[in-house]
Structure 1
Amino acid sequence: MNKIMLAKDTYWVGKIDDREVPFHRLILGKGTTYNAYLLKTEKPTVIDTVDMQFGREFVEYLSELINPEGIQYIIINHTEPDHSGGLAALASRAPHATIVCTSPAVNELKEMYKLHSRNFLVVKDGDTLDIGGKTLKFKETPYLHTEETMITYCMEDKILYPCDIFSTHVASNTFFADEADFDITDDFIGYYNAIIHPHRRYVRTLIQALEDLDVQMIAPSHGYILRKDIQKYIDLYATLSADTIDDKKATIVYTSLRNNTKKVAESIKRILEENQIHVSIFNADKSEKSAILESIKEADAVFIGSSTKYADMIGNLEDVLKDLKEMNLEGKIAAAFGSYGWSGEAIEVIQDYLHETNMNVQSTSHVIKTTGMTHVEFPVRVRFSPNNEQLKKIEHSTTFVADLLLSAI
C-alpha cells in the first residue's frame, strides 16, 4: 500500500477490513477500518493500533515505515481490542516504548496483553507530551464510550485523534471523507447512534474539550479522516446529543421499614429533578392506591422500591404491583430499587412483577449488552443506609434513566 500521509511526518498505518464484520452484535455490511497513526518525529510515536486479529500484519506494515525498535511512545486512547489489539505484537517489537494512557487504562492493558513489566506514562486532562518536533495534548473523555477513553491532539498539525469519536464504519481505499464518491453523513450518524448515543451525556464533555483546540483535521479510529467541514461534524454531535424539549415525568413508589429505602427514593427524586424531570413520589402505605396508579399512568418512568423483611416486600406495595399487570404501560421505563440487611429478596420480587408488565424494565444485563457500561446496575440494591459509595451507584443508575428520558432521538 502507498504511504498515506496526513501531515509532515504523520502517516496512517491501520488496516482496511472489507468483510462483513461482526461488531457490537451488529454486522457491518460496509466493513470498517482500524485506523492507527505513526508520527515519525525525533521520538517516534504510534497513536492506537488495530484489531487483535491483525496485530502481526499491522506491525509488518508499520515496519515498512520505521524500525519498531526505535518507537518511543505508544498512545492508547481506548483499550477496547479493536483499537488496542495490536499492542501486544507492537510492544514485543518496540521494547523501549512507553505506553501512554489514562489511569483506568493501565491495569486493563497490563492484564489484556501481559504487559506488567512495561513502562506506562499516565496522562491526565490537559497534559502535554513533547515527542520531538510535535507536541501532543491529551483530554480525558470518560464514557465515550468507556471509562478510560481519552483523545489526543497534535498542537502543531492541528489534528485531533479521537479514537471512536467521529468515526464511520466504512471500508475504503479512499481515506479522506472529501475524496469519497458519496456523502458520508448517513454513515457518520449511523455510527453515532450505534456506539456514542447511549453515552450522549458525555458528549458535552467532548464539546467542552474541543473549545480551546483549533481542530483542522479529525483522524478517528474507524472509517474516514475528516479534513473539510470539520465544524459540521462537531455540530452534528452537539445536535444529536441534545436534550428533548418535551417535559418528562417520573413516578417513585416505595415502602420503607427503617427509612433506608425512603432515603434511596429521595436520592432518586433529587437526581431526576436536577435533570429537570418532574417527579411524583408516594409512600404506598400512606397514599391512596388510585392516586399512585393515576400517576404511574401519566409518567414516562416508574421507580418502585421496598425494604426486605423475611425475604419479602413490606406494606401495601404488592397491591399496587398486582394492578400494574392489567394496565397498558407500553413505552414507559421501569426500574426496581430497595434497601436490605440480609439478602434483599424484595427487590428481585419487584423486578419480577415489573417484567410482567409491558414497560421497558431496566436490568444490568440489558445495560451491558446495549451500552457496554459496567458501572450502571439494575435493580438498584442498597445494603442498610446508603453510604457515599452506594449513593454513587444510585446516581449512576438514576442518571442513566434520566438520559433515556431526555434523549431527543
Structure 2
Amino acid sequence: MPPRDLQPYPIAPDTTVLRSRTWDRLKFEIEYGLARGTTANSFIITGDTKALIDPPGSSFTDAFITGLNNRFDVKLIEYVILGHINPNRGETLKKLLELAPQITFVCSNPAAIALLTILGRDDLDIIAIKGGESIDLGKGHVLRFILAPTPRWPDRLLTYDSKTQVLYSDKLFGCHVCGDQVFDEGWESYSEDRRYYFDCLMAPAAKQIGSTLDKIAEYPISLYATGHGPLVKYGLMELTNLYQQWSKTQSSQSLSVALIYASAYGNTATVAQAIASGITKAGVGVESINCEFVEPAEIKAALERCTGFIIGSPTLGGHAPTPIQTALGVILSSAQKTKLAGVFGSFGWSGEAIDLLETKLKDAGYKLGFEPIRVKFKPTEMTLKECEETGTDFAQAVKKAKKASIPKAKIGDATTDRVEQAVGRIVGSMTIVTTQQGDLSGAMLASWVSQATFNPPGLTVAVAKERAIESLMHKDGKFVLNILEQGKHIPLMKQFLKPFAPGEDRFVGVNMEAATNGCPILTDSLAYLECNVQSRMECGDHWLIYATIDTGKVFNSSGVTAVHHRKSGTHY
C-alpha cells in the first residue's frame, strides 16, 4: 500500500471528502499509540461559492494539493475554513495561497491571531468568528459556526451545513485508523479505537466536551464529518451517547488534578496530553487549563477544587512566558501546601522555565510528586510513554495521600467483610505478562488469568487500568504469558513486584530470550505462551483482555504451577 495518497468521495449534495491517508504511524503523539495509520479528512462544498474545510498538515501537502487540483479548480475556492490551526498546517496553507491568493480564511479569533504568525503575513483576508456568524455559499448551503474551545485547542471551531445537516466536527468523534472505508458501516468494530482516542484527547477536557455536546444537540445532524478516521453516520447516536457517558464519568471523579500549562510550539501541550492520559487511566479526573486563555480567577478556582496540581512551561528567551508566571503567582498565593505538585516543560536550548517552577514551588514548601520532566525539542515515543507513566504514578500518589487523610472507619458490615474474604479464596496461577512494541516494552505480575476457549486456544487476563502495560495490550497486540514454577517463582516475583520509575527497564538482570512475536520470554519460568490480543472488555477498574494462543512451550515437564492465595478480595 502507498505510504500517502488522497481518496476523494462524495458524501452529500455538492459535498466531497478528500481523505489524505497513511498506513504508517504519522507521528509520535500519544493519540497515535495504536499505530493503525490515520486519515486527515478535508472537505469541499461546491455551492455557488466553493469552500474548503480543514486542509491537512505538512505530511500530506504534496499529495493533497495535487489531488485537489486534479479534481477541482483551486483558483475558484473562495473560503478555507479551519477547525483549528497549528504550525503543521502552515505548509499546506502557503501552497494554497500560491495557487489561490484570493482565499479568505474563516476561523475562530484565537486561530486568526495564530494564523498571521504561522504564515508570516499580515495581509491575509480573515473572517474571525466570535460566535453566531454564518456564511451562505448558495444552493442552500448556509454554514453556521460553533465555537468549541478546549485547553489543547483553544481555537477550535465546528461548522454545520444547514442543507446537508453535516457537522464538520474537527477533532471531535474521530479515531486514528486507515483503510478504504469512508463511512462507519459496522461501527462497533471501531469502538476500541474511538474509546482510545477519547481517553487520549478528550478526557482531560471533559468539562468542555460536555458543553460542546450541549451546543450541537440543538442541531439536527445526519453525519459527523470527522477530522480523522471514518465519517460517523451509522453509529452517530450511539457514539454521541458514549461521549456523553464518558465525559460525565470523567467530570464526576471524586479526585482531580489541575494540569496548568502554556505551549509555544505545541511540544509542551503534547507532553501535557500524555501526562493527562496517565492520570485519567488511574481513575483520577484532570482539569486541563491552558493559562494563555483563562483568567487568574479560573486558575484559582481549579486549584481550590483539585487534590493536586501540575504546571508546565516552555522556555522562551531563557524565561517562562508571562501567562505561566501569572499562574505561578496564583499557585503560590492560593494553593494549599498540602497539595501534591508536579513540574514539566519543553525547551530548545536551556530550560530555565522548568528550573524556575521547581525552585519556586520547593521554596514555598510544596512536595513534588515526581522529578521535573524536561523535554528537549519534540518529545519522542519513549518520552511520551514515560510521561504517561508519570501521570499514573502521580494520580496514585494523590489517591494515597487522600486516603491517608481520612480516618479509618470501623468495620461494621459483617456481610461485606465475609464476602471480601470469600472472594479472596479464588486462586489464580502466578504469571508474568511481557510485551514489546518497537522501542517500548512492558511487564507485569498477573494472577487473574484463565483459559477461555478450546478452539481456538485462548485465554483471558485482567489488567488494571492504571498499569503501564495496559496501553500495549490493545487489539492485535502481542504478548507472552510466562507461567511461574512453584519453588522457583520468588526471584521473578520480587523483580516484577518492585516499583519501577517511569521508563525504567523492567528486565535488567533477568534471563530471557525473544519469542517469535518479538516479546520477551523469561527462561526461568515453568512455561510460556505466545499470545495475540483479539478483544478487550471494560470491567470496572480493569480491562479484560481476550487473546488467542499462537504457540507455547513447557521448560520443566515435572514442575508445578505457582498459585496465588489471597485473604481478601479487595486487593491482589
Superimposed CA distance per residue, residues 17-36 of structure 1 (whole angstroms, 9 cap, x where no aligned partner): 11122242554510101100
Q: In 2, distance between residues paired with 1:174 and 1:106?
A: 34
Q: Which amino acid aligns with 1:155?
A: S
Cα distance change on mapping 1:174 and 1:86 into 2, 3 Å: same
Q: Which residue of 2 aligns with 1:192?
A: 198
**Structure 1 residue 220 and structure 2 residue 226: aligned?**
yes
Would you say the 8 A contact 2:48–2:138 is kept in 1?
A: yes
1:349 aligns with 2:349: no
Q: Percent identity?
A: 21
Instruction: Report what 1:296 is aligned to.
Output: none
Q: In the aligned structure 2, how far is the partner of 1:75 from the partner of 1:175?
A: 21
> Counterparts of 1:53 and 1:222 in 2: how far apart (Å)?
14
**AA of the residue aligned to 1:43:** T
- Alignment of 1:237 with 2:237, yes or no, is no
Question: Is residue 98 from structure 1 mapped to residue 104 from structure 2 by the alignment?
Answer: yes
Change (3 A) 1:174 1:117: same
Matched, 1:118 2:124: yes
**Are residues 1:7 and 2:20 paired?**
no
Preserved CA contact (<8 Å) 1:217 1:230: yes
What's 1:68 paired with? 74
Secondary structure at the aligned position of 2:21 is classed as strand
- CA deviations 1:255-303 (Å, max 9, x no partner) are xxxxxxxxxxx99886566x5x7xxxxxxxxxxxxxxxxxxxxxx4489
**Which amino acid letter does the alignment assign opposite residue 349 of structure 1?**
K
Task: Please give the TM-score of this superposition, normalised by the length of structure 2.
Answer: 0.47
Deviation at 1:347, TM superposition (A): 2.6
Q: 1:40 is matched by which residue type in structure 2?
A: T
Distance 1:364 1:93, change over 3 A: same
Which residue identity is paired with 1:354?
A: K
* 1:156 pairs with 2:163: yes
Aligned partner (choices 12, 22, 43) of residue 17 of structure 1? 22
The one-letter code matched in structure 1 to 2:185 is: D
Q: CA separation of 1:19/1:118 partners in 2, compared to 1, >3 Å: closer, same or farther?
A: same
Residue correspondence of structure 1 range 325-404 to structure 2 within 5 A: 333-334=340-341, 347-350=360-363, 354-355=367-368, 359=369
1:363: how far off? 8.0
State the alpha-carbon separation in 1 of the partners of residues 50 and 309 from structure 2: 54
- The amino acid that maps onto 1:211 is A
Q: Is the 8 A contact 1:50 1:84 kept in 2?
A: no
Following superposition, the deviation at residue 201 of structure 1 comes to: 1.7
Give, as a single letter, the amino acid of the residue that structure 1 aligns with 2:66.
E
Task: Provide the rounded CA distance (Å) in 1 between the counterparts of 2:136 and 2:84.
Answer: 21
* Cα separation, partners in 2 of 1:210 and 1:115, compared to 1, 3 Å: same
Q: Which has the bigger relative contact order, CA under 8 A and spacing at least 6?
A: 1
Q: Which runs of 5+ in 1 are unaligned?
A: 251-265, 278-299, 304-313, 315-319, 325-331, 337-342, 371-400
Distance 1:246 1:186, change over 3 A: closer
Higher strand share: 2
**One-letter amino acid matched to 1:60:** T
2:360 maps to amino acid: I
- Report the equivalent of 1:32: 38
Structure 2: runs of 5 or more not aligned: 1-5, 258-296, 311-331, 344-355, 381-397, 403-539, 542-572
Q: Name the CA shift for 1:365/1:7 in 2 (closer, same or farther; >3 Å).
A: same
Q: Does the 8 Å contact 1:52/1:86 carry over to 2?
A: yes
Which of 62, 79, 83 does residue 56 from structure 1 map onto?
62
With over 3 angstroms needed to count, the CA separation of the structure-2 counterparts of 1:81 and 1:4, relative to structure 1, is farther
Counterpart of 2:149 in 1: which secondary structure? Answer: coil
**In structure 2, C-alpha distance between the alignment counterparts of 1:196 and 1:11, rounded to whole Å:** 27
Structure 2: how far apart are the matches of 1:185 and 1:243?
Answer: 17
Match of 1:293 in 2: none
Q: 1:83 to 1:201 in 2, by over 3 A?
A: farther
Deviations 1:151-191 (A, max 9, x none): 111111000101111110001111111167x6101101111
Q: 2:231 aligns to what SS in structure 1?
A: coil
In the alignment of these two chains, the number of paired residues is 301
- For the Cα contact (< 8 Å) 1:139–1:150, is it kept in 2? yes
- Alpha-carbon separation, structure 2, partners of 1:268 and 1:110: 28
Question: Would the alpha carbon gap of residues 136 and 23 (structure 1) be closer, same or farther in structure 2, given more than 3 Å must change?
Answer: farther
Task: Summarize the Cα distance change of 1:247–1:75 in structure 2 as closer, same or farther, 3 Å threshold.
Answer: closer
Q: Structure 1: which amino acid aligns with 2:135?
A: L
Q: How much is the aligned-residue C-alpha RMSD, in angstroms?
A: 3.8
Q: Which residue identity is paired with 1:204?
A: G
**CA separation of 1:4 and 1:344: change in aligned 2, threshold 3 A:** closer
Tell me the CA shift for residue 333 of structure 1.
4.3
Q: In 2, distance between residues paired with 1:346 and 1:362?
A: 11
| Partners of 1:346 and 1:128 in 2: CA distance | 49
Letter in 2 for 1:57: A
- The aligned residue for residue 391 of structure 1 is none
Label 1:268 to 1:50 Cα distance change in 2 as closer, same or farther (>3 A): closer
**Alignment CA distance shift 1:116-1:270 (3 Å):** closer
Distance 1:267 1:138, change over 3 A: closer
AA in 2 matched with 1:140: L
Give the alignment's TM-score, normalised by structure 1: 0.64
Letter of the 2:173 partner, please give it: F
1:229 Cα offset (Å)? 2.6
User: Whole-Å Cα distance in 2 between the matches of residues 137 and 200 of structure 1?
Assistant: 24
Q: Secondary structure at the match of 1:223?
A: coil
Q: In the alignment, which residue of structure 2 is the partner of 1:253?
A: none
Any idea what the Cα deviations from partners look like across 1:89-141, whole Å, max 9, x if unmatched? 11211111111001111121122123422211111222111011211010101
**Tell me, what secondary structure is at the counterpart of 1:185?**
helix
Equivalent-residue separation in structure 2 for 1:32 and 1:347 (angstroms): 42
Cα distance change, pair 84–209 in 1 and its aligned pair in 2 (3 A): farther
Amino acid at match of 1:109: L
Alignment-derived partner of residue 210 in structure 2? 204
Name the residue aligned to 1:86.
92
Q: Secondary structure in 1 aligned to 2:27?
A: strand
Alignment check: 8 A CA contact 2:9 2:17 kept: yes
Indicate the residue corresponding to 1:282 in structure 2.
Answer: none
Take 2:170 and 2:357, find their aligned partners in 1: how far apart are those partners? 41
- The AA in structure 1 aligned to 2:161 is C
Secondary structure of the structure 2 residue equivalent to 1:87: helix
Q: Is the 8 A contact 2:53 2:82 kept in 1?
A: yes
Q: Secondary structure at the match of 1:227?
A: coil
1:13 aligns to what SS in structure 2? Answer: strand
Q: How does 1:238-277 map to 2 (within 5 A)?
A: 238-243=244-249, 247-248=254-255, 271=302
